[in-house]
Structure 1
Amino acid sequence: MLRIAVQSKGRLYEDTMQLLSEADIKVTASKRTLLVSAQNFPLEVLYLRDDDIPQSVATGVADIGVVGENEYQERGAEADIISRLGFSRCRLSLAIPKDIDYQGLEWFNGKTIATSYPVILNRFLDEHHIHADVHVITGSVEISPGIGLADAIFDIVSSGSTLVSNNLREVEVVMQSEALLIGHPDMSQEKRDILNQMLFRFEAVKQAEDKKYVRMNAPKAKLDEIINVLPGLKSPTIIPLADEEWCSVHTVLDQKRFWEIIGQLKDLGAQGILVTPIEKMIL
C-alpha cells in the first residue's frame, strides 16, 4: 500500500482530488477522517496541512505527497521531487502600497517586510544584497502595511485581486510555484512499483489536456494539403468512404491552435467535422 499526503482543504486539495479521479483512483473524501483508502487502487490518502506535507514525506510518515513548490522550498525537507504536476500555479512576490514610487529593489533597504515565507525571502534578499527586517506572520499577511505592521509584504499571488483589495501592488516576482509530487528517498521496490502505475495514469491524463479528437470528411483531391496543416501525433488516420472521391480523416488537435486549423480545413473543403474531448491519451 502506497500512502500519499494531500492538503486537507483549499485549491491544492481540490486539484489533487480531481487528478486522482481523472486517473480512475476512487477516494471518498471525508473532513472527519485523516486517513482514507482508495477503493480500487493500493493507495491511502493522508490529509494534512500543506506546511506539514514536506516533513511527513521526508520522515516516511507518508511515502509521497502533493505540495506547492513554495512550501517545498520553504521547509527544505529532504524529499525527492518526483514530478511537476502543472496545476495550482501561483507565484511568490514582493508587494508594496500602490501609491509608493518604486524605483527598484534598493527601495527595500531598511524596510520591514511581512511574510509567511522567511527562508525564501531571506535567500532572495541575501542574493541581491538587500538589508531588510523580515517580520514572520501567519494568516492575513496582506493587511500588514495597512495596519502599520510592515512597509511591504512577501506572499503568494495568483490573480492579484487580494493585493488590489488591500491597496497593494506587485513589484517583484521572486519565484514561480506549482504543485509538486514529492517522495521519500528510501521507498521499497513494492511501493515504487505502485507509484509507477500511478504515474503512468497521471501521464495519460496530462497528455490529454487541451487535446481534441477530430474527425472529418475530406475530398481526396485536397488530401495532401489537408494532411500538411494537421499537426497530428504522428500522422492522421485515413479511412476510405463509399464515395471514392472522399475519405474520412481522424486526428488530434491542440486547443491552442484549434480554431486556426479548423478554419484552414474548411477552406480546403473538409466537411462534417466532429470534435470530441479526450479523457486520456497513452503515447
Structure 2
Amino acid sequence: MTTETRLRIAMQKSGRLSDDTQALLKRCGLTINVADRRLLAHVANMPIDIMRVRSSDIPGLVMDGVCDLGIVGDNTLEEASLKRKLMGDKFEYVKTTPLNFGGCRLSIAMPEEFNYSSVDDLNGLRFATTYPQLLKRWADEKGINVEFCLLKGSVEVAPRVGLADGICDLVSTGATLEANGLVEVEEVFRSKASLIQTASPLTAEKQAILDTLLPRIMGVMKAKESKYIMLHAPKDKIAQVSALMPGKETPTVLPLAGREDLVAVHVVATETFFWETMESLKALGCNSILVMPIEKMMG
C-alpha cells in the first residue's frame, strides 16, 4: 500500500505507450517490479509507486489527485479535459514536460470512393470516433456541423457496415486505413506523450522526489535527441569546422599527442547531423569523424 511519502505515477498498463514509459523510467535509473496482472508496481530504489491503468483513466487520476504524476498521450489528455469541463468536473492539471515518444495524429478518414475536395464536404456527416470532444471542437473551429457515434474499438469498420460516413481516429502509418479502404483527408489533432502533474501542492517529501526525478527525465529526453561528435581537424581550420557543427554548443578542442597540425574536436549536437556535413568536414581535411548516441545527459 502506498503512503503519503511515496510519489505515485499513473501509466498505461499495456501497449506501445506502456513500453516507452517503462523504458524511460528505467533509463532514469528506476528499478521497477512489474507483474502482468498487478495494477500497482513498486520502484525498489526510490520511494515511488506506479499505477498501471487504462490510458483513458490517467487524466482523471491526476486531475482528482489520486496520482501525483501521469504519463499520457496528449490526445487522451485533451479529450478527457474537454469532457470533464463539459460535465462540470475538476479538470485542472500541470503539464510538466512534453516527451519525445508516442507520436500520432487524430485524423478524419473517408472511404476511398468519397469525392473529397474541401472541409465543407464533411458538413452534416456522421463519424465513428473514440474522441467526440476533439472532433466537435475541430468542427466548430471549421464552421461545420458533424454527428458522431462513439466507438471504443474497430472504428475503421464503421463506414463499411453503415454506422457512419467516415471515421475520426488515431493514425500512425496509415496502413490500417489503407487495409480498410479509407483515405485520410483532414488532421484534427497532433499528439505526443506528456508528463502531467496534479494541480494540488505536493508534500515536501514528494516534491523532493520529483526534484530528483524530473532532471533525470529531462536528461534522458535531451540525450535521445542529441549526438556526441568526435573528429580530428586541421589546427588552422578550427573556425570553419566550428561553423559546420550543428546546434549551439561550443566545440571542445584538445591537443593530439605527437601532432602539431591536428587537434581533436568534441561537441554535443542537438540538431540533425547530416551526411553532407560529414562530407564537408572531410573536404576541410578532417578525419576519424565519429557520431555516437548519448545515453544520459545532465547540466
Q: TM-score range by the shorter chain?
A: over 0.9
Distance 1:61 1:232 in 2: 41
How far is the alpha carbon of 1:140 from its aligned partner?
Answer: 0.8
Q: Which residue of 2 aligns with 1:200?
A: 215
1:150 to 1:233, Cα distance in 2 relative to 1, 3 A: same
Deviations 1:161-201 (A, max 9, x none): 11111101111111111111111111223322212221100
1:236 corresponds to which residue?
251
Structure 1 residues 234, 2: closer, same or farther in 2, change over 3 A?
same
Give the counterpart letter for 1:29 in structure 2: V
d(CA) in 1 for partners of 2:246, 2:196: 34
Aligned equivalent of 1:63? 68
Q: What is the aligned partner in structure 2 of residue 144 from structure 1?
A: 158
The equivalent of 2:180 in structure 1 is: 166
Displacement of 1:255 in angstroms is 6.2
Q: Report how far residue 75 of structure 1 moved.
A: 1.1
Quickly say closer, same or farther: Cα 1:107–1:195, change in 2 above 3 A: same
Please list, as runs of the form range in 1=range in 2, the aligned pairs for 1:126-275 lying within 5 A after superposition. 126-186=140-200, 187-231=202-246, 233-241=248-256, 242-254=258-270, 256-275=272-291
**Displacement of 1:149:** 1.0
Whole-angstrom distance in 1 between the partners of 2:122 and 2:291: 53
Helix, strand or coil at the partner of 2:205: helix
Mapping for residues 66-77 of structure 1, pairs under 5 Å: 66-76=71-81, 77=91
- How far apart, in 2, do the equivalents of 1:210 and 1:154 lie? 31
Identity percentage over the alignment?
41
- Between Structure 1 and Structure 2, how many residues are aligned? 283
1:279 aligns with 2:295: yes
Q: Structure 1, residues 21-70: CA drift from partner, whole Å, max 9, x if none?
A: 11111213221111111122221110000111111111122111011111
- TM-score by length of structure 2 reads 0.89
Give the 5 Å matches for 1:2-13: 2-13=7-18
RMSD over aligned Cα, in angstroms?
Answer: 1.7
1:227/1:107 CA distance change after superposition, 3 Å? closer
Relative to structure 1, is the Cα distance of residues 42 and 228 closer, same or farther in structure 2, using a 3 angstrom cutoff? same
- CA change 1:148–1:21 in 2 (3 A) is same
Q: Is the 1:232–1:251 Cα contact (8 Å) retained in structure 2?
A: no
Paired residue secondary structure (1:173): strand
Q: CA distance change for structure 1 residues 60 and 248 in 2, over 3 Å: closer, same or farther?
A: same
Structure 1 length-normalised TM: 0.93
- Of the structure 1 ranges 3-12 and 220-229, higher mean CA displacement relative to structure 2 is found in 220-229
User: Which letter does structure 2 place at the counterpart of 1:32?
Assistant: R
* Distance (whole Å) between structure 2 residues aligned to residue 162 and residue 262 of structure 1: 38
SS at structure 2 position matched to 1:252: strand
Gapped regions of structure 1 (runs ≥ 5)? none
- Cα 1:129–1:215, aligned 2, differ >3 Å: closer, same or farther? closer
Q: After the TM superposition, which residues 36-115 of structure 1 pair with which residues of structure 2 at under 5 Å, given as runs? A: 36-76=41-81, 77-115=91-129
Q: Is the contact between residue 142 and residue 153 of structure 1 (CA under 8 Å) also seen in structure 2?
A: yes
1:277, distance to aligned residue in structure 2 (A): 2.0
Rounded Cα–Cα distance in structure 2 between residues aligned with 1:271 and 1:123? 55
Query: 1: CA distance between counterparts of 2:203 and 2:176?
Result: 44
Q: Letter of the 1:49 partner, please give it.
A: R
In structure 1, the partner of 2:20 is: 15
Q: Is the contact made by 1:207 and 1:281 (CA closer than 8 Å) also made in structure 2?
A: yes
Q: 1:95 to 1:232 in 2, by over 3 A?
A: closer
